[in-house]
């Protein structure tokens, strides 16, 4: 069973702090990873994709991938109350495989 | 504004009735996913298609669920007969596969309630 695991939270951080969200995966064949943000009652929205080991930065977001440890993370710098949402991690076997999601981590940013 | 369109947005039906959910993927995308989301299970992959061909539907209860792509602009998910445990939000997502992976973009979802 291919699985993606996330801590369900809630993770609470003060406004302006760094939020760190983590994800582990069991399928060593997974090659591509994605972070989605889902506001309550809305659909998931893609915010980051990462395919290679290391860091990938986009604005206030940094995704990190360590394939040896089967670990993916998302850092949100200068967290804002508008970042409060559930963050979903997903993995896939490159271009051939399906896209498997973790259950998500709920983030709450307190003003 | 390219987006995935799902219909209906909400559906309430009685147990035993047939339910059909429709999805129009983003023009040019060659991959379509169907997911079901519940509080307990999160996002579960039901089926996905590549270039209209079904690649994996192992997540779908075969006896009552069926998924098809009659053409490149329409994907359907059908439940017959529906049961109360099918109540969930059903999402369709589409993407364009490349060598790196498939970034999937979600529709607004269909909230299904079976009473």
What residues of chain A lie within 8 A of the CB of B100, using their CB?
31-32, 49, 51, 94-95
The residue of B25, B43, B108 whose CB has the most chain A CBs within 10 angstroms, and thus the best one to mutate to test that interface, is B43
Per-residue pLDDT of chain B (115 residues; tens, 9 = 90+): 689 999 999 999 999 999 999 999 999 999 999 999 999 999 999 999 999 999 888 889 889 999 999 999 999 999 999 999 999 999 999 998 765 667 899 999 999 999 9
Q: Tens digit of pLDDT for each residue in A52-102?
A: 999 999 999 999 999 999 999 999 999 999 999 999 999 988 666 688 999
Q: Report residue B58 as tokens.
A: 């192992």
DSSP for chain A? ---EEE----EEEETTSPEEEEEEES-TT--EEEEEEE-TTS--EEEEEE-SSEEEEETTEEEEEETTTTEEEEEESS--GGG-EEEEEEEE-TTTS-EEE---EEEEEE-
């Amino acid at each position: 069973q291919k699985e993606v695991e996330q801590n369900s939270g809630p993770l609470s951080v003060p406004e302006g702090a760094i939020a760190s969200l983590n994800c582990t995966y069991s399928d060593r064949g997974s090659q591509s990873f994605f972070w989605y943000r889902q506001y309550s009652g809305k659909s998931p929205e893609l915010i980051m994709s990462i395919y290679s080991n290391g860091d990938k930065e986009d604005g206030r977001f940094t995704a990190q991938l360590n394939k040896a440890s089967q670990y993916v993370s998302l850092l949100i710098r200068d967290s804002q109350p508008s970042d409060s949402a559930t963050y979903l991690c997903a993995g896939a076997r490159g271009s051939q495989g399906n896209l498997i999601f973790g259950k998500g981590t709920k983030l709450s940013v307190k003003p | 504004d390219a987006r995935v369109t799902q219909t209906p947005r909400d559906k309430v039906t009685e147990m035993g009735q047939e339910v059909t959910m429709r999805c129009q993927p983003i023009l040019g995308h060659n991959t379509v996913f169907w997911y079901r989301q519940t509080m307990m299970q999160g996002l579960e992959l039901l089926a996905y298609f590549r270039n209209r061909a079904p690649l994996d539907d192992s997540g779908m209860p075969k006896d009552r669920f069926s998924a098809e792509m009659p053409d490149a602009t329409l994907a359907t998910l059908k439940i017959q007969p529906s049961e109360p445990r099918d109540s969930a939000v059903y999402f369709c997502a589409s993407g364009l596969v490349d060598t790196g992976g498939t970034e999937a973009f979600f529709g607004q979802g269909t909230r299904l309630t079976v009473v």
